[in-house]
Amino acid sequence: MASSGSLIFVLLPLLLVLPLLASLGFADADIASTSLVSTGTICTSTPYPSVCRSNLPNNDTGDIYYYGRSSVRKSLSQASRFLALVDKYLAQKASLTVSAARALEDCRFLASLNLDFLLSAFQVVNGTSSALPILKADDVQTVLSAILTNQMTCLDGLQSTASAWSVRNGLSMPLANDTKLYSVSLALVTRGWVPKNKKGKGGAGVWQPKSRQLPFQNGRMSFTMSSRTRGIYESVTRRTLLQSSGDNSVLVNDIVVVSQDGTGNFTAINDAVAAAPNNTDGTSGYFLIYVTAGVYQEYVSIAKNKKYLMMIGDGINQTVITGNRSVVDGWTTFNSATFAVVASNFVAVNMTFRNTAGPKKHQAVAVRTGADLSVFYSCSFEAYQDTLYTHSTRRFYRECDVYGTVDFIFGNAAVVFRNCNLYPRLPMSGRSNMITARGRTDVNQNTGTSIHNCTIRAADDLASSNTSVQTYLGRPWKQYSRTVYLQSFIGSVINPAGWQIWDGDFALSTLYYAEYNNTGPGSNTTSRVTWPGYHVINATDAANFTVSSFLLGDDWLPQTGVPYTSGLI
């Protein structure tokens, strides 16, 4: 039994949340009057019926909207309790090993995000008892999907840290139980509020350039801004920005310059990020950080309140952010990232991100992204194992280069790579390369990796080696792994089987791997795996994984100024 002091410590976050729930109008009277069914009936449509029945109102009837709101409310309550439990363990941080403390800090960070996500989801589902407009529905499905990903990330971090066994034993059961409840909430919300056909505005998209160019050249990316900020930018870069009120303009509210020689506003990127305004809504434009050429040895973390931030460098291999954290050196995979961003509507252009830990240090992330509706354009990601952590939410990569070895594009976001280059490198002796490893754990998560019109070739070190390294398109990290390759060039570096197992027959019938109309010597599907979850698909199915359908990109990409095409080529 907990002491009275401990009880107050655990319940305090919950007590802070409950008044907010009341102010949002969450009351027992909020019960629909049509299509009433019992708790037992509604719970049969969820992945965990027993968890559903034990958490939803008993001896009651209601419709999908009543039960969905009840489940989200219960999820919010449990998220608050779990955050308090993590804080309780962190209060004993002095008695923990460094690796255990780092894993616990990751859990604390992710639990805080979950609380925010559940509050935002409830505000939406509490406002209507009908299917939502598609973009709003996708927003809700995205945050509820991210909550499950955050739970799994916390658990994975604790399990990979042997010295965290006592903490793990105390948190594993709440983590497992809460994850099942969140899965129930996602299922009910998906059934009630998410339209069955996911289609955005449609249309042809903007700009379809034939080659990579710097964004300020030839009118490719124009900016609308005040005369003061225009003067700052032009005086430093000696580039003229084109004024434009057309669809291809980008609204910029302010500009700061990062330069290592002291001629800009800051010499460190983190200082420029700290100067960005908090919680902006984008109506006044992006806060633009121009990072001049140089090698910046710093770990950059862009917090959730630094929204609508645009970061532009002088080009790949010109503006470089580098670090060398790794799991072998005591970091969690999550916190090994050289560059991490969770703030929504982030845009990065013309930059290189590196983790130089090397293949012997195992997991060592160059970039981790949980930033919703974010874009990386003309960027390079360089590491070995776990290079690019597409952790959660929705993201677009255009004309980027990704270098790595084992699982070098991994995570559980909804992402589209378009016109990118994927370069498998030379791994440790005896190891194989896997380009992707997907962390999708729930059939209702709107997540997956779409690799569209990209090029897959061996990096120089692998191409010139005399070893027979096997390279695969991907493997199933989690139960519902989902990855598609569309209209891409697949080089001879790819093994004819195409895909690799994770462990025995794990996920082979529940994953979704697909290929459509690819070219190149490695694209022949004749000798591909024969798993139940592997498919060679047609144009109709492939269209579901394009920018327009999978990311609803026509609704939010134009404001970024980044070129894209909505559908298949």
Q: Coil, helix or strand for 255?
A: strand
Instruction: Tell me which residue of 5, 16, 31, 29 sits closest to 76, measured CA to CA.
Output: 16
Q: Where are the alpha helices (DSSP H) in 37-164?
A: 39-43, 49-55, 64-90, 98-125, 134-159
Instruction: Tell me which residue of 234, 361, 356 sits closest to 297, measured CA to CA.
Output: 356
**Contacts for 243 with CB less than 8 Å, ≥ 6 apart:** 222, 224
- The one-character DSSP state at 424 is E
Query: Angle 134-159/98-125 helices, nearest 10 degrees?
Result: 160
- The one-character DSSP state at 177 is H
Nearest-angstrom CA–CA distance, 446 and 193: 14
- The dihedrals phi and psi of 85, each to the nearest 5 degrees, come to -65, -40
φ/ψ bin of 51: left (φ > 0), alpha (ψ from -120 to 50), beta (otherwise) = alpha
Q: How many residues does the chain have?
A: 569
Q: What are the E-state strand segments in 165-229?
A: 222-224
- The one-character DSSP state at 207 is -
Q: Where are the alpha helices (DSSP H) in 194-268?
A: 227-237
**Contacts for 44 with CB less than 8 Å, ≥ 6 apart:** none
Tell me the longest C-alpha to C-alpha distance in the chain.
Answer: 71
Instruction: Tell me which residue of 279, 345, 287 sits closest to 306, measured CA to CA.
Output: 279
DSSP run (H or E) holding 260: none
Cα angle 101, 447, 24; round to 5: 75
Pseudo-torsion of CA 555, 557, 560, 564, nearest 10°? -150
Burial class, 29, CB count within 10 angstroms (exposed 0-12 / middle 13-18 / buried 19+): exposed
Instruction: Tell me which residue of 422, 449, 442 sits closest to 433, measured CA to CA.
Output: 422
Nearest-angstrom CA–CA distance, 272 and 289: 7
DSSP run (H or E) holding 404: strand 401-404
Q: Catalytic site residues?
A: 407
Nearest-angstrom CA–CA distance, 108 and 113: 9
**CA of residue 394 relative to chain centroid, distance:** 6
Q: Are 491 and 522 in contact (CB under 8 A)?
A: yes
